Structure 1
Amino acid sequence: MTSHVQLDPPDPPSTADDKAGFDLNLSHGHRDLVQAVAFNAYGDRCATGAVDGKIRVFNRHKDGIWRVCDNWTAHGGEIFELQWLPPTVYPNLLASLGIDGRFKLWCEDPSAAPGRRFSPGSRSTTPGKPAFETRSTRAPFRSFSLKHNDDTRQTHLALLTTEGRLVIYENDQPETLSEWTLIDQFDVGPKPPRGVELSFRVRFDPNPDPCYNALRAGAPIDSLALVVAAMHSVKIYRSREDVITAPYGVPQAQREFYLAADITSVVPHRGLVRDVAWAPGNVRGYDTIATACQDGFVRVFRVETPFDEEDGKSWATADIAKREGQPATPELPNPPHSATPPEKHHPPHHQSGLSASLAKSDGVGGERLPSGQPGQVVHTVKEVAKLDGHRTPVWRVDFDDDGQILGSTGDDGKLVFYRQTPRGSWAKSSELGMLKMKMATPS
């Protein structure tokens, strides 16, 4: 190590070297504004989506240089979101959603030549052929989220429309994601009036299992959770197994989502919620959620699950399994405002398979308030930070893989990082002014 330091030239790098390194990092190759960026779990693949509807995939090689792997027209216009499925799913899959309201899955062909890995036979002016594609007949999709469970080999897909309707699908064959099963759909809020600016976002809980306090309170170990930002509201939904009776008399278990917490009933947002993020690392016994708002604030919330500490239940696997079938009657600490009494939101628990399907498809259940059915737990929400590092509308927010660092971007063109302190609060740690770096680049 010492000899290496002595061999380094004492003079700073030349201007040419600085420019080469800078261009290498920022020359994405798009001819239009880049709207979406996604890295895979290993950090060695990056996908970018532009306003012109094109996707470019880059691979990081052993020499540290990023090189283009594929480039194709994926949508007829602006690309809103991109997401990689885990690298454990082979071949690699990339999901995209465009302004046309179409959700698409792109499957890589590792044996194909560079430039035709994800869109075989496509041309630069015509959209490539995806492995899977869907769209809503009622209203275009505006946001999506994917979650894959390596143990059960199940993949879940959540899609949110511009009318505030949430649709959740399930697939148990990750290698051939061409067939999906609808497990639930409902409205997360009132339909926005025409002519107003829209803002919708949905994100699955990235943790493999619910936090141990939620399990202690009675949440099923395979419970799904997601956070939804619809216009000015932010809500958390969680799933439970609902046993219904099929028309031929055989009981069947189906997933049903219910409202577990209404964050905006605790802390109102004074603007459109542009983005929402769920932090990994729920081994601490609670969950952390952050929101990016048009009012210029990044808010961080601590989501806890209260439970009875004197009920005599243990953490044994058998006891946890028993608790999944025991009734729980939690009370909503901060019930959302609703003009309809909660009891009118829920159909009877025992119903036929046909009536249950009709109830879900028609959005019956309103806000899906908790009704004390088995497997339902209610979370409490506390605002732990209100960060104004941008002082302009905030557009994006996300956590690192440990849930200890939070990043945000806004209208000021800055990337701001916040770090969680040992006391649990959040403080600004660094700031990157991307526009200033560009202006300082030698010509």
Structure 2
Amino acid sequence: MSNKKPTNGPEPVKHGFQNFEFAAADIVLAVSFNTAGNRAILCSADHKIRVYNIDGNTAWTLADVWRGHDAEVLDVQWIAPSLGPFFATIGGDNKFKIWREEPSQLYKSGRRFRCIYSQSAPNHGSYVSFGTKTIYHNIFLATLTHDGLLSLLQPEDSESESLTSWSQKDSIYPFGSHPRGTEARFRLSIQQSEGPASNALFAGIDANALSLAVSAMSSIKIYRAFRQSGNYQFYEMHDMHTDTALINDIAWAPGCLRPYDVIATACDDGTVRVFRVDTPHDSDGSSRAPVAKSLQPPGPPRKSSIAARNAPSGIGAGLAGMSRTSAPRRDMVNEVKHESRQVAILEHEDKQPVWKLKWFHDGSTLASTGDNGKVYMWRENIGGYFVEFAETEPA
């Protein structure tokens, strides 16, 4: 006779790790959770995308699985949460794709999510990193290719919620020419706060500027994109380094509680290096004109790059006449000074390479993972010190 006591009501919530039903047949390369935390996307080396829903806060169940790319699916991110269930992926087939849920289709039918936009990487390269940012209904997309091309795009119709057509606003090579066969480990991260940090605003950065960090090898560059004559343009603001540690991932901390910015890097030497970026200023900035309004780009006005040769969306426009080794634009170091310093070196115990970083929404908690499969979690304490508060390992 069983001694198990009968229970009335739902089963208790299970804590700890859970194996996903019908998990990938090959290595999982990226995971993205939606804002509510009740839906997750897994992309893997078996060319497939898997979407899971949480069932009554107790278990994750498969919603749909399908072949998303003709090669490994390298990265995935939810985008534009205010518009609905959209997400984007990049694959080893040189494609960037945007997907939208079709409620009329059945779950597990392979057709629940439909590709509404697909774009090949310019110059016959491949996408290695991308990031998105949504401010109210304004959506921005930044992409980075294997040869180092950084591009900024927006939907062609800002009033539309379809996201089926995009136009390129600007493209540059932050680190110059990188021919095929070289591995520079390019990565990018967009600042997710509504606007620049308060000190940056006081120093003269326009409130509508976009901020992002780009890394290659052991170098990190900070860019601000300012709106000029209807188009955004990239300007390099600062350059910093991790000594000799090679960078595998980069993450700009969200949140607006700090008056300065924090950027973390996942490095090949088994460390997570955290940088503080300041924009010193002499006053509250009330008498200083924003940089975006005072900037006068050299040379004649730039032509819009919307009319692409082979891509209606305009992502490849203007690339034919663009030189990878052309002189850089007038830097803005004299306009707004940026200073950086390394404030923390967080070590994985086995010194194995760290591959992925993710900031929590509060901007003070960071998760990292490496070759050993463990997830390390770090928290910033009062005084700006980062300490490890959790270390988890799948059963």
Same fold (TM over 0.5): yes
Opposite residue 104 of structure 2, the aligned amino acid is S
Q: Which residue of 2 aligns with 1:155?
A: 139
Contact 1:327 1:372 in 2 (8 A): no
Partner of 1:135: 120
1:407–1:269: structure 2 CA closer, same or farther, 3 Å change rule?
farther
1:236-268, Cα deviation, whole Å (9 max, x unpaired): 1101233xxxxxxxxx3421111111121xx42
Structure 2 vs 1, CA of residues 210 and 58 (structure 1 numbering), >3 Å: closer, same or farther? same
* 1:78 positional shift: 1.1
In the TM superposition, what is the alpha-carbon distance from 1:21 to its structure 2 partner?
A: 7.7
RMSD of aligned residue pairs (Cα, Å): 2.9
Quickly say closer, same or farther: Cα 1:371–1:397, change in 2 above 3 A.
Answer: closer
Deviation at 1:24, TM superposition (A): 4.4
Pick the structure with more helix per residue: 1
Candidates 218, 225, 236, aligned match of 1:259? 236
Q: Could you tell me which amino acid in structure 2 is paired with residue 260 of structure 1?
A: M
8 Å CA contact 1:154, 1:174 repeated in 2 = no
Q: Which residue of 2 aligns with 1:115?
A: 108
Alpha-carbon separation, structure 1, partners of 2:203 and 2:17: 53
| Structure 2 partner of 1:246 | none
1:22-37 equivalence runs, <5 A: 24-37=18-31
1:362 CA displacement: 3.7
Distance verdict in 2 for CA 1:203–1:313, change over 3 Å: closer
List aligned pairs for 1:36-185, cutoff 5 A: 36-90=30-84, 92-116=85-109, 119=112, 130-138=115-123, 139-150=125-136, 153-171=137-155, 172-173=158-159, 175-185=161-171
Q: Which amino acid aligns with 1:131?
A: I
CA–CA distance in structure 2, aligned partners of residues 178 and 371 of structure 1: 34
Pair 1:400–1:367, CA change in 2 (3 A): farther
Rounded Cα–Cα distance in structure 2 between residues aligned with 1:378 and 1:118: 51
Give distance in 1, aligned partners of 2:129 and 2:73.
11
CA 1:385–1:367: 2 relative to 1, 3 Å = farther
Task: Kindly state the Cα deviation for residue 65 of structure 1 after the two structures are TM-superposed.
Answer: 2.0
TM-score (norm 2): 0.85
Identity score, percent: 32
Normalised by the length of structure 1, the TM-score is 0.76
State the 1:116 CA deviation.
4.1
1:280 to 2:281 alignment: no
The residue number in structure 2 matching 1:203 is 189
**Which residue in the other structure is 1:409 paired with?**
369
Alpha-carbon distance in 2 for matches of 1:422, 1:348: 42
Post-superposition shift, 1:100? 1.0
CA gap of 1:262–1:387, structure 2 versus 1, over 3 A, is same
The alpha-carbon deviation at position 389 of structure 1 amounts to 2.1
In structure 2, relative to structure 1, the CA distance for the partners of 1:379 and 1:102 (3 Å cut) is same
Listed as ranges, the gaps of 5+ residues in structure 1 are 1-7, 10-16, 121-128, 243-251, 329-346, 438-443
Q: Does structure 1 conserve the Cα–Cα contact (< 8 Å) formed by 2:187 and 2:214? A: yes
Q: Distance in 1 between matches of 2:41 and 2:329?
A: 36
Compare CA radii of gyration and give the structure with the larger one.
1
- C-alpha separation between the residues in 2 aligned to 1:156 and 1:26? 32
Structure 2 unaligned spans of 5+: 6-11, 306-316
Structure having the larger proportion of residues in strand: 2
For residues 386 and 368 of structure 1, the distance between their equivalents in structure 2, rounded to whole angstroms, comes to: 33
Q: How many residues align?
A: 370
Cα offsets for 1:283-319 (capped at 9, x unmatched): 310111100011221100111111122xx743xxxx6
8 Å CA contact 1:57–1:68 kept in 2: the answer is yes
